[in-house]
Structure 1
Amino acid sequence: MGPEKEYKKIAQDVIKGLGGKENIISMAHCATRLRLIVKDRDIIDDEFIENVDKAKGVFFTSGQYQIIFGTGTVNRVYEAMIGEDVSSTSKAELKEKASEQDDHFFKRMIRVFGDVFVPIIPALVATGLFMGVRGLITQPAILAWFGLTPDSISDNFLVFTQILTDTAFGFLPVLVCWSTFRVFGGSPLLGIVLGLMLVSPSLPTSWDVAQNVQEPLMFLGFIKVAGYQGSVLPAFIIGIVGALLEKRIRKLVPAALDLILTPFLTLLIALMLGLFVLGPVFHEVEILILTAVTWILQLPFGIGGFIYGGINQFIVVTGLHHALNLIEIQMLSDTGWNMVNAISSGSIAAQAGAALAVGLKAKSLKTKSIAYPSSLSALLGITEPAIFGVNIRYGKPFLMGLIGGAVAGFFARILDVQATGMSITVIPGMLLYLNAQIIPYIAVCVIGFGIAFALTWMFGFKEKTNLK
């Protein structure tokens, strides 16, 4: 069976398990999950969908029925579903429809963070890999293998690498404003232009102001204005305001003048609010949040790493991990290092270890068939199959995974392991440590995996019933 026919069959099986096309209101997808709004949750055959080829688990949360397929696979399944005439929708529409079924404000906000930041992560992943590769090839020890020294590297080559590593973070507000406009129903093009205005070369850069190389512009004698290179939260808030402004203005402006007045007024008002009110306020909020998180993670004796490593995968279960993207992005933008990634990798490896222990101890072939690939998926950085498909179902393995993650997080901070990027973890995450940290990073992952595996093997799994 060719790939096209294979995914067509998967889509047809998913539709059948969901109760037919008439039960599907709308559909979208994130990096790993097919996300659907359905009319009747009760008629869905969860067991049938879990047995669909390439499906790694299902769960219902925040008003959405979510099927885990994994990175890359979910895109192909989504396209096949479109080919079967299933209604697709924008993330904004999906969010609104989910809100009709789940009006919990906090959950809606978590969805918003995911919808805004997930689409820009691939660019940041690539940037992190570029940083890792540059760090590797510029190491004196590596250069010495070829009879070279750091002085042998040409200035033009360094400029080329800086373009690869600095562009995404230098223009980060552009990415954030674009994605925020898209999610909140504004025109993405206006989001791009507004983001570019926030990093206009006419403004002193935020980095030069922070290092006292340049003075900020002064308005009205007390408002300090500078560019927002590398800022996340101000661009996010300004993007929300800009998108809502555009929608409001479009309703008030006569249709004949919409093309002229709507973008003019949207950009003018949003930029004024952004530079003079929202930007300065939320830049300070951003600094406070980052300072608080950094303080916690840098608590002495590895305490911060132990705490975060222990709760990291519980955060994934709640969906809060999307909100934490903001913290990692800001860390990388400010310092070039991400101290969260190694802790996350250790906690993810721990869930892999727990799932593997379940697979090895289980007598049920079905349990094994889910546990083994789920463990491999977790080692590649995707834990939902292991968490929802295996560990949480048996209860104790998930707890043992949290313990393994806590110990791994402890060692990550004791060893001060920090990544050059984000969003790739465990085995792929090694690409973010192509420097003197690669051995400590591997050690953190092995510790998390080994402890969770051992605890699950000894205390955390007793097969009473088969997985359903």
Structure 2
Amino acid sequence: MSENRQIAQEIIEAVGGKDNIVSAAHCATRLRMMVKDKEKIDLQKVENIDKVKGAFFNSGQFQIILGTGTVNRIYDEVRQLGVTGTTKAEHAKEAAKSGNAFQRAVRSFGDVFVPIIPVLVATGLFMGLRGLVMQEKILASFGLTPDHISENFILFTQVLTDTAFIFLPALIAWSTFRVFGGTSVIGLVLGLMLVSPALPNAWAVAGGDAQPIMFLGFIPVLGYQGSVLPAFIAGVIGAKLEQKIRKRVPETLDLILTPFLTLLVMIILALFVIGPVFHTVEELILAGTVAVLELPFGLSGLFIGFVHQIIVITGVHHIFNLLEIQLLEKFGSNPFNAIITCAIAAQGGAALAVGLKTKSKKLKALALPSSLSAFLGITEPAIFGVNLRYVKPFIMGLIGGAAGGFAASIFGLKATGMAITVIPGTLLYLNGQILLYLFVNLIAIGVAFALTWTFGYTENLKQQIENDSKAA
């Protein structure tokens, strides 16, 4: 029997056998299983299986962290052993039925933004590269000054950096329709209508260069360039409306009437009700976020740096996507990224300390790669496989995140984009901030490492780990 087949067999047995597994799917790093009775899962037995970097029950699924590449091979073996496989989308639909209303809402919110984030990451990288190229020191090395940069070049960079945010409502409406069961192209067109050039441009209105169109003397109508909530709410309602219309329209007229009625009703609602109301809500959320980030004496970084990874454990951290997008759209910069980067790096520092100090070969083989994963921006293996499992390293990581976040806040670091952190995140700080960015990350890692080495990994804990390893 191959090693991967043996691991798959052990996982199935530890999860309660094939009879307890409804279906299995996988993402980039995790094997996800829907189970009938989670009480039958032997968590400790699962975590002691070779190549398993951690396991937890969340979002209605039992999720086993195996890492990129490995998870594909183990999933194939699990299917060959008789477990029903499903696509990630089908699995997510089944999982979405579990959890409380707030968890389901946040999960849906995250599902909408996941496909959009890569293009926002690319936009942030373009902003960072433009900042690097436009630095006077960089230009001087080629015998140039900012005055030598042509307007055509500036225009080209604006195409790269502005397009995603100009048409953000179209991207969001498209993805929202997709997630909530509507026709994606109808959502796309609805989103494009929200940024139609026939409407007063939102940025021009904000800058005082244009005025909204006033309907009935009190309803302001304008474009929603860069807005998130109006497109999201319109997408949710629009997808549900389309489904209801499709059920009532004769099949012969469905192709014509369903999109016609959906778009007609939704653009009226979006421009006259949803847009004005939720744009105000969006502005209030942004104002609250800015107020927290502007707390004096580094308090914002101290607080956010400490609590961020706690929120990640709950699985509701996707809500931060809205905040980061709003910051980038409004100010062209993202101070939130620098703080959460420190929170992520600190968990890697704590896992690194455990990996270097432990005498357990299994834990060392788990902790060291997990710390590297955290330094690349993915903390799940470090948190669930090492730090949270032994509690104290996780707490030391939180303290390290607070220390680094405090420094980031004091220095006023601001990313040019979002969604990438720690080592990949350096690309968002090429506009003269790179040394400070590296410094605050080293603070976070150093504090978490030192505290974990000194206080978070005691002889008693080492003995517990070694006993766990012997019991495996």
TM-score, with structure 1 as normaliser: 0.91
The verdict on how the C-alpha distance between 1:283 and 1:335 changes in structure 2, with shifts beyond 3 A counting, is same
316-325 or 254-263, which deviates more:
254-263
Match of 2:209 among 203, 210, 213: 213
- Structure 1 partner of 2:158: 162
> How has the CA–CA distance of structure 1 residues 51 and 256 changed in structure 2, closer, same or farther, with 3 Å as cutoff?
farther
Runs (5+) with no aligned partner, structure 1: none
Q: Is the 2:132–2:430 Cα contact (8 Å) retained in structure 1?
A: yes
In 2, the alpha carbon distance for the partners of 1:287 and 1:78 equals 46
**Structure-to-structure mapping, 1:353-392, within 5 angstroms:** 353-392=349-388
- Deviation of 1:23 (Å): 5.0
Indicate the residue corresponding to 1:269 in structure 2: 265
Q: Are 2:38 and 1:41 aligned?
A: yes
Query: Which residue number in structure 1 is paired with residue 301 of structure 2?
Result: 305
C-alpha change, 1:74 and 1:271, in structure 2 (3 Å) is farther
Counterpart amino acid of residue 288 in structure 1? L
CA distance in 2, matches of 1:138, 1:83: 53
Matching residue of 2:463? 464
From 57, 61, 64, the equivalent of 1:64 is 61
What does 1:244-393 correspond to in 2, within 5 Å? 244-393=240-389
Correspondence list, 1:51-130, <5 A: 55-69=52-66, 73=69, 86-89=84-87, 91=89, 93-100=90-97, 102-130=98-126
The residue type equivalent to 2:63 in the other structure is Q
Deviates more, 1:78-87 or 1:293-302: 78-87
Distance 1:207 1:29, change over 3 A: farther
Closer, same or farther: CA 21–138 of 1 in aligned 2, 3 Å: farther
CA distance in 2 between partners of 1:143 and 1:9 (Å): 58
Hey, what's the Cα distance between the residues in 1 that align with 2:76 and 2:147? 53
Q: Measure how far apart 1:126 and its partner are.
A: 0.8
2:406 aligns with 410
Distance 1:377 1:240, change over 3 A: same
Pair 327,98 (structure 1): closer, same or farther in 2 beyond 3 Å: same
Contact 2:31 2:75 in 1 (8 A): no
Contact persistence 1:354–1:397 (CA under 8 A): yes
Amino acid aligned to 2:114: V
Separation of aligned partners in 2, 1:171 and 1:78: 40
Is the alpha carbon distance of 1:123 and 1:54 closer, same or farther for their aligned partners in structure 2, counting shifts above 3 Å?
farther
Partner SS, residue 293 of structure 1: helix
Q: Which residue of 1 aligns with 2:134?
A: 138
Picking from 422, 426, 429, the partner of 1:430 is 426
Change (3 A) 1:9 1:273: farther
Aligned residues: 461
Query: Would the alpha carbon gap of residues 419 and 227 (structure 1) be closer, same or farther in structure 2, given more than 3 Å must change?
Result: same
Asked if structure 1 preserves the Cα contact closer than 8 Å seen for 2:324 and 2:418, the reply is yes
TM-aligned CA deviation for residue 387 of structure 1: 0.5
Answer with 116-125 or 47-56: which moved more: 47-56
Partner amino acid for 1:64?
Q
The residue that corresponds to 2:200 in the other structure is 204
Question: Structure 2 CA distance, aligned partners of 1:58 and 1:456?
Answer: 22
2:391 aligned with 1:395: yes
- Do 1:29 and 1:78's aligned partners in 2 also have CA atoms closer than 8 Å? no
On the 8 A contact 1:403/1:452 being kept in 2, the answer is: yes
Give how far 1:21 is off. 6.6
Cα distance in 1 between the residues matched to 2:160 and 2:7 = 38
Farther-moved stretch of structure 1 (249-258 vs 339-348) = 249-258
1:199 and 1:52 map into 2 onto residues whose CA distance is: 52
Q: Is the 8 A contact 1:21 1:86 kept in 2?
A: no
Aligned partner letter, 1:121? I
For the residues of structure 1 that align with 2:156 and 2:315, how far apart are their CA atoms? 38
Alpha-carbon distance change, 24 to 177 in structure 1, aligned in 2, over 3 angstroms: farther
Amino acid at match of 1:88: T
What RMSD in Å do the two structures reach over aligned CA positions?
A: 2.7
Question: Which secondary structure does the structure 2 equivalent of 1:423 belong to?
Answer: coil
Query: Residue 415 of structure 2 aligns to a residue in which SS?
Result: coil
- Provide closer, same or farther for how the CA distance between residues 13 and 219 of structure 1 changes in structure 2, counting only shifts above 3 A: farther
CA offsets, 1:216-238, max 9 Å, x none? 12222221111111111111111
Please give the alpha-carbon distance, in whole angstroms, between the structure 1 residues aligned to 2:444 and 2:37: 40
Deviation, structure 1 residue 419:
0.2
Partner of 1:243: 239
What amino acid is aligned across from residue 224 of structure 1 in structure 2?
A: P
Matched residue, 2:438: 442
How far does residue 109 in structure 1 lie from its aligned partner after superposition?
Answer: 1.4
Identity %: 61
Corresponding residue number in structure 1 for 2:177: 181
Kindly tell me: are residues 394 and 52 of structure 1, through their superposed partners in 2, closer, same or farther at Cα, counting changes over 3 Å?
A: closer
| Residue 157 of structure 1, CA deviation | 2.0
Structure 2 segments unaligned to the other structure (5+ residues):
none
Q: Name the aligned partner's letter for residue 329 of structure 1.
A: I
| Structure 1 residue 377 displacement after superposition | 0.5
SS at match of 1:465: helix
The question of whether the paired residues in 2 share the 8 Å contact of 1:7 and 1:76 is answered with no
What's the secondary structure of 1:464's corresponding residue? helix
